[in-house]
Amino acid sequence: MATLQGVTATTVESAATTVFKNEPFTDFTRLENARAMREALDKVRQQLGREYDNVIGGHRVRKDAKLKSINPSHPEQVVGIFQKAGAEDVPAAVEAAQAAFASWSRTPVEKRADFAFRVAQALRERKFEWCAWLVFETGKNWAEADADVGETIDFAEFYGREALRLAKSQPPIQLPGEQDDLHYIPLGVGAVIPPWNFPSAIMAGMTLAAVVCGNTVVLKPSGDAPTIAARFFELLEQCGLPDGVVNFVTGSGATFGNELVKHPQTRFVSFTGSKEVGLQIHELASKTQPGQKWIKRTVLEMGGKDCIVVDADSDLDDAVNGVVASSFGFSGQKCSACSRAIVDERIYDKFVERLKDRAEKLTVGPTEDNPNMGPVINEAARKSILAYIEKGIAQGARLITGGKAVEGLDGYFVAPTILSEVKPGDTVEQEEIFGPVLAVIRSKDFYESVRIANDTEFGLTGSVYTKSEERIEHARQEFHVGNLYINRKCTGAMVGAHPFGGFNMSGTDSKAGGPDYLLLFTQAKSIGRKLG
């Protein structure tokens, strides 16, 4: 295998003979890693405030209207300035992608996979710098940023390998006297609309999955985290991606985004975000437009109301640690975050007491200082989170800790909040809050806990803590979520090991990072040829 700066790099040849391995996490307790991170923060700090162009078919485009990305730890600090595209910019972006599709779709899969591997290697070499951008733009602490970047590398490696595997697929039967083949071919032009909470991993994973299959895309990042996407687009260019294969456009979701979804030449839409926006995209994509020749495909990841079930026989300290990590990691701003803990009444009071003690030890502050918890993404999010807490208390919940904005800091900080005695059906037990708020529900036993867990419109992640093999098997059969974990936290899905995607209103169960994900960006062509 080739090496760059002393780090092993994947090649197409080595991918065929080596097993995929997840990128290792960085140990920031090691002085050299902490030093490298601080140096990266200093370097990136000098680059804040730059203006980024939209790029359509290789052409730089600027608009009169602008968007600003700000640091949620320090709202006065501008991370980047961006162009605000509107509906009028959609035709040019789609046409550029369509033009590039003619050649990119016929580029050998080996070259497309090799491109993905080059992207992975470039990210490895810039890992600390990439983490620093995440710290400034989204308020991730060092470990959360490192996990995001590691997952980005994993997606590039995994999807490159999966594209090579898919290219070798054959039909299960060969008829006598025929040569029967099965080819997975690209769909066309896709809209990639990623979220702000995993602005590197999900954005890059959605983009690379489409591109490695031979599609071309229009990438419209979230207005809360466009800088990471802009830097990623520049990295794609540096790695040799032809013009028009990815077109980078920032703009309003209500204007540019909706028109992009509706455009008759948009073949598929890959989206991660809220249930409300996902359903709107699904509805817009389902209406056939004049000149449209296909049924548009939607790949939707839309959120959750995830929970951890704590059985009476569980290891209490282990369960407390898992709930705290799942609830308050990245300030609860994960679609997989634990926002409900459903606890057997026999251990309920003891569990809540230990939970309170553990949560109150968490540090909160600007993430360049690497606290346990940073800010929420913006002022609107903070107001919404505090309103949910007030509603929970008004409906009878007991405030155990937190419940307020953190004083003395100028960013969008909310204290880790625990509400006990929440009843099934309460607002904070049913609606996705997307913040550091945990509702603790009392149940009669494990079986009632699972029934309560299932009683929402979502079905993304869940976890159970129990020593009983019988109850583990019950959860395997009856806990209706796309990602179920046993005796561990409900966040932190790993590419390859935990294909990620949920049921019901959590989305289309797309299973990112799994063996069938690339099928969503391809269509199968069966060819039978008579011999002789």
Whether 271 and 394 map to the same domain: the answer is no
* Contact indicator for 326, 308 with CB cutoff of 8 Å: yes
Q: Which of 335, 429, 432, 490 is catalytic?
A: 335
Residue 217 shares a structural domain with residue 315: no
Contact 271, 301 (CB under 8 A): yes
- Which CATH number characterizes residue 99's domain? 3.40.605.10
Q: Please write down the long-range contacts of 525-528, taking CB distance under 8 Å and 24 or more positions apart.
A: 525/182, 525/183, 525/184, 525/185, 526/171, 526/180, 526/181, 526/182, 527/180, 527/181, 527/182, 527/183, 528/175, 528/178, 528/179, 528/180, 528/181
Distance CA 197, CA 301 (A): 13
pLDDT of residue 11: 94
Q: Are residues 122 and 139 in the same domain?
A: yes
Mean pLDDT, consecutive 10-residue stretches, the chain (532 aa), reads 53 89 98 98 98 98 97 98 98 98 98 98 98 98 98 98 97 96 98 98 98 98 98 98 98 95 98 97 98 98 97 98 98 98 98 98 98 98 98 98 95 98 98 98 98 98 98 98 98 98 96 98 97 92
What is the DSSP annotation of 178-190?
EEEEEEEEE--EE
Annotate 367-418 with three-state secondary structure. HHHCCCECCCCCHHHHHHHHHHHHHHHHCCCEEEECCCECCCCCCCCECCEE
Q: How far apart are CA 445 and CA 398, in angstroms?
A: 21
353's tokens: 């007491």
Cα–Cα distance for residue pair 375/365, rounded to 1 Å: 7
Q: Is 19 inside any structural domain?
A: no
Place of tokens 């083949």: 181
Q: How many CA atoms lie within 13 A of 184 on its CB side?
A: 23
Task: For residues 393 and 373, state if they share a domain.
Answer: yes
Please indicate, yes or no, if residue 2 is contained in any of the structural domains.
no
Catalytic residue, from 129, 162, 301, 432: name it. 301
Q: Helix (H, G, I), strand (E, B), or coil: what is residue 309?
A: strand
Q: Which helix (H) or strand (E) holds 55?
A: strand 54-56
Distance from the Cα of residue 360 to its chain's centroid:
28
Residue identified by tokens 């990841």 is: 301
User: Does residue 114 fall inside a structural domain?
Assistant: yes
**Domain for residue 22, yes or no?**
no
What predicted TM-score, i.e. pTM, was given to this entire model?
0.97
Is 414 part of a structural domain of the chain? yes
Please report where in the chains the tokens 């609107």 appear, as a residue.
380
SS (H, E, C) 101-116: HHHHCCCCHHHHHHHH
According to the model, what pLDDT value does residue 6 have? 43
For residues 247 and 160, membership in a common domain is answered with: yes
In this structure, are 325 and 278 located in the same domain?
no
Q: Is residue 182 part of a domain?
A: yes
- Whether 195 is in a domain gets the answer yes
Burial, 434: exposed, middle or buried (Cβ in 10 Å; 0-12, 13-18, 19+)?
A: buried
Does residue 301 carry a catalytic annotation?
yes
Task: Provide the residue range defining the domain that includes 259.
Answer: 27-302+510-526
Based on the domain organization, do 406 and 476 belong to the same domain?
Answer: yes
Residue 477 shares a structural domain with residue 520? no
Q: Are residues 265 and 368 in the same domain?
A: no
Contacts of 201 (CB under 8 A, 6+ apart): 148, 149, 151, 152, 155
Do 275 and 314 belong together in one domain?
A: no
The partner residues of 298 in beta bridges, in order of sequence, read: 269
Q: What φ, ψ does residue 521 adopt, rounded to 5°?
A: -110, 15
Active site residue 335: yes
Maximum separation of any 2 CA atoms in the chain, in Å? 82
Do 262 and 379 have their domain in common?
A: no
- Report d(CA 144, CA 508) in Å as an integer: 26
Instruction: Please indicate, yes or no, whether residues 452 and 359 belong to a single structural domain of this protein.
Output: yes
Total domains present in the chain: 2
Query: Does 16 fall in a domain?
Result: no
| CATH number of the structural domain spanning residue 333 | 3.40.309.10
DSSP 85: B
**pLDDT for 2:** 36
